[in-house]
Structure 1
Amino acid sequence: MSIEVRLLGPVELRGDDGLADPGPAKRRAVLAALALEANRPVRLNRLTELLWTGRPPASAVANIRNHVAALRRTLGNRIVSRHSAYQLNLAPHELDVTEFRRLAEGGRGALAIGEAGRAEPDLAAALRLWRGPAGHGLPRGTLDVLLAGLEADRLRVLEDLVEARLKLGYTGELAPMLRDHLAAHPLRERAWAQLMLALYRAGDLGSALAAYRQAQATLHAQLGVDPGSELAALHVAMLERAPRLDLPARQPDRPRRIAGAEVPRELPPDPPFPGGHPDEFAAVLAAARPSPEERAPAAVVVHGPPGSGKSALVTRAGHRLMDSFPDGQIFAVARPDVSASDLLGRVLRALGVPAGEVPGHADELIGRYRSLLAARRVLIVVDGVTDAGQVRLLIPASPGSALLVSSRRPLPMPGVPHVALRAPDRLARPARRAR
């Protein structure tokens, strides 16, 4: 029996027949209370405490029993009756709260050991599970305390994500997200520090210092206190232009060789990040990075109109993914007159196959390509694709490698995720690339 319970937003329940109506608000609250304690018995007196503020009505227990009976029409034997208690049994993937916590813990763990590139997609994926305030629309009750704890977790994960992106070289493009975050939560000093650092690394010292003054005024007006020592020290460091505020330069990889040929490092220079697309960038990284659990090949298409920044996005994603593909990064431009065979031959030559030994028959080209990739971890970036037929055969057949594609329009490639970009409403001043 298929079940999915979502609490990170309005409460939703899915069964074998798709989305099911959980019923009135109090019934959704019963579902939420049981789901938050999934796989553990919740006593009836605890449920009444969670569902009603103050003194519960005399009919509280009877009401709960009626709501559980109604929920069983969708949940079936997932709700187990215990002595004066109910227990909702869910697998980890059947509850969005559990999945959020799993992704958040993985991202924080990677961030704690300095692996921002591995932390970033997990943290971004955790936040994408949110559809609004947790339990939106539920009646007021003690359950609010548990839901408020989830909201606090969300705020921490958002700031962890910003920290990872700062370490990866994101700069001014983080400012809009942080300003929205601070508009709703103006007392979070960590977020003020992150906004200041993002602006500083984008080359906008004036705005960084203005952000500090705004934080100082907000904290004083609402709490009657000055900024903490860490925020104050960051302000002083910016006034002194302390070198520690700059990202260390990336150390170049030592050349490697495959079968006597130098490993291809063909990506164009790392461009400034296309402003306005941080979530899309995170989605591309998550889709293209090899999954150690699934061990599946990866491919992703980035599409958007001219000026949307798709070429810059796939190029920068390639630079961020270099460590995941130590056997090479290949970059090709797919003009309208470039065929699939042309691109396959181009990739084979980049992988060290002499021009005279590149097969002339399409089947042989494909076989040689797949054989070369079978034991390697290679990233292929193809920019400006006009037809799916140009790149469909480049999708790796074995795990460990990935294909990144940019196109003006979606491509009919079943099973390949697409990331859509929109043209900017106005030209923004490009952020200085972090060093």
Structure 2
Amino acid sequence: MTERQHDDRLGEDALELHFTTLGPLTARRAGQELRINRARDRAVLAVLLAQAGRPVTVGEIIDGVWGEEGDEAPDRAGALPGNMYRLRSALGGGGNLLRHVGKGYCLDVDPAGIDRTVFLSALADAATARLNWQPQRARELLTAALDLWQGPAALDGVPGPFAEHERRMLAGRRDEALRELDLPVRELDAGPGAGPVELRAGAARSVLRPFQLPPDPGDFTGRTAQLAEIGELLAVPGRTQSPLVTVAGPPGAGKSALAVRAAHLAGPDHPDGQLYADLHGADDASGYLAPFLRALGVEEQAVPASAPERRALYLRLLADRRILVVLDGAGGVEDVRPLLPAGPGCAAVVVVNGTAGEGSSSAVQVGPLAPDEALELLGRMIGRERTDREPDAARALAAACGHLPRALRDAAERLVRRPAWPISAMLPSGSSADA
């Protein structure tokens, strides 16, 4: 079968499949539901759907499905091929849809057929519409996004820590959309040990637990020392003020991925939630005070008009809570001062280009990956069998990318879309795989 025939066949199979995750997890082909009876199989599928089109390592799947289990737990790595076999049988596609890639698996399905992806994309488009002064367009997008929900909780009945995180994250995004539309926020399960939260538009709200972090990067590689350093800085025992950690480095070095990964790891130390803002291109960081206040449960009509009043209310809401604030794309620490918490229970991670600059108490500098780490990242994204087959070309490509994660991801995405290409085809003219 030629590459073109493979792509055409894969495209036909993928377009027929539709997945619902905003409620019970279901898979349908041409409108007919497919039988995926085992809970663990659905948990594996949930992890793969969140990274559709990208390789997911075995370790990441195991962590997301089984999490931390005792020594008496069954051989999870040994059980995973059985999960994959049953999923392939249920999804069809002759093994083209769910492929073994290096030390992981890749689910090649159309993102437009996954309600999670469509939901999050609609929310992003609505945010853009609001920025462009298109309120009616924003309302239409939010309404369409909310109509995708098939039940009160995402991945309802799916076990595992990944599914639990997804339920919290997606419920938070849904509630933000409901508040934008000034609609009642539906009752939801906030998680183990937490009672149901019922909020009505126009009624007094208690402080909510926002979970705004982007998903944990599935192919995150290296940075062990920096992760440990950030973890230590955020978990200072007996602290009397809010820690501020600055992650600095050149563009494309993977600062944002490092900050998000570290924030996920620090989640247990900040049980009241995480606030996140992408400040790239923002002229005034204080403009994010209003959405932060809404995420904490403040009614739209109760958000103060002036930035100083919003800042005062923001600090009052965070005063006795343990919330982590992640601010990505800041020009410098002083630029984001209005968004920084002050109470000792909270902490902040600020991502800046270049050096940390003034106002930073603790800075973590990020540079290119080590050559072996860059090679490992490339292998995770395109499959280890390809890098093992062309080790010299893979190292040369990593070097040509400056061992920078962003450039490596751009190159890897082209190679993933073209499985018949050799890695050497991506090398710059005049370079050599033997260099």
TM-score bin (small chain): 0.3 to 0.5
| Rg (Cα) greater in structure | 1
Calculate the TM-score normalised by the size of structure 1: 0.41
Calculate the TM-score normalised by the size of structure 2: 0.41
